Amino acid sequence: MSEAILAIRLRALGDVVLVTPALRALARESAGRPVEVVTEARYAPLLEGLEGVSRVWPLERSAAGTIGLARQLRSRRYAVAVDFFGNPRSAQLVAASGAPITAGFDLRGRRHAYRVRVPRDAPAEGGGREHASVAHLRLAIAVGGVVDGREPRVAVSESARPRAAALLAEAGVTDPSRAIGLVAAGTWPTKTWPWSHAASLARRLMERGRELLLLSGPGEEAANASLAALASGLRRLPPCGVGELAAVIERLGAVIGTDSGPRHLAAALRVPTYAWFGPTSPETWQPPGPLHGYWQTSLPCRSCDRTICPHWSCMPELTPSVAAARVIEHLEGLRGQAPALRAVAGA
């Protein structure tokens, strides 16, 4: 039987980034013991070449793709299989691996696939909410993982960097080290900032001499066009894959906006960030360290985790004038820490 460990985290962008401390913990469990990871094909570039990950299995989102990959995994004869995702597809892959030790979150309808189970949610030490990365670490520890911190890390391939340079040039970004990436949308409608707010913020920051680059995903083309029309001079990143997005973000001076995957990607690349929180909690999703600031709504219903809301007041309450002031204060407070930070802070 192989001594390899199988880890599964299918999606989404921010969650794939935040599972990387747990992958390192699995790799440290036994020196030289290979860790192989299954993720959806679009996220594979972030993990390929990552320290401690010996192989990435890209999964296509189809029944045929799942069945085909399950057969390949079965032939690998893993010693341990860990499901960091916990949906029916990932549980199926863990069960199909044939590993004698399987682990996952104790979720209804999936727990039967795992011999080792841990709660999906647990209070943080000292009370409050647990950070998302810590839940993954608890699962890694349950199968012998050795933690070396919860700082996320991702890989940026050398082949993606020339493409990133071309994308920035196509967008019209003249000095990436001074440019700020802006994220207005969110995975959930309730996490999305009003487009008028985002346009007003962009105008205020551009008036202060900042170069703004809009970071967005598929399906946001019409909204992006409206936002660009409201904020003349706002640059828009052309459509690209996640690997190229990482290579773009690593060259930026900062990333600001909603609680989003690109922001977690920036944190993993040690790029400064600033975010505003409405329905999600900073306790769960705020990156650690002084490079990363945040602003949270004052409404008593904040951090509700609702994807649909009948009154949706939290994100509109976070006004662009205050957001601009907070972003500038945060970035200027980073002066002197590193050349790239001095540049984006306007030093």
Backbone angles phi, psi at 65, to 5 degrees: -65, -40
pLDDT bracket for residue 167 (50, 70, 90):
very high
Q: Is the pLDDT of residue 32 over 90?
A: no
Specify whether 122 is located in the same domain as 219: no
The Cα 104–Cα 90 span in angstroms is: 10
The Cα 295–Cα 173 span in angstroms is: 27
Dump pLDDT digits (tens) for 124-152.
877 889 999 999 999 999 999 999 999 99
Q: What pLDDT, on the 0 to 100 scale, is given for residue 347?
A: 41
* Domain end point (choices 84, 114, 142): 142
Q: What percent of the chain has pLDDT over 90?
A: 82
- Provide the Cα torsion 69, 75, 77, 78; round to 10°: -20
Q: What pLDDT, on the 0 to 100 scale, is given for residue 123?
A: 85
Give residue for tokens 């009003």.
194
155 inside domain: no
Q: Is the pLDDT of residue 251 over 60?
A: yes
Give me the CATH number covering residue 193.
Answer: 3.40.50.2000
Q: What is the pTM of this model?
A: 0.93
pLDDT bracket for residue 1 (50, 70, 90):
low
Specify whether 215 is located in the same domain as 322: yes
Give residue for tokens 């670490």.
137
Q: What pLDDT, on the 0 to 100 scale, is given for residue 31?
A: 62
Q: Is the pLDDT of residue 343 over 80?
A: no
Domain count, the chain: 2
pLDDT bracket for residue 28 (50, 70, 90):
confident
Specify whether 176 is located in the same domain as 206: yes
Q: Which residues pair with 153 in a beta bridge?
A: none
pLDDT averaged over every residue in the chain: 92
Annotate 138-150 with DSSP letters as a single string. HHHHHTT-----S
32 inside domain: yes
Specify whether 203 is located in the same domain as 256: yes
Specify whether 192 is located in the same domain as 328: yes
Q: Is the pLDDT of residue 342 over 70?
A: no
The Cα 113–Cα 322 span in angstroms is: 48
Annotate 238-260 with DSSP letters as a single string. PP--HHHHHHHHTTSSEEEEES-
Domain boundaries, position 252: 160-344
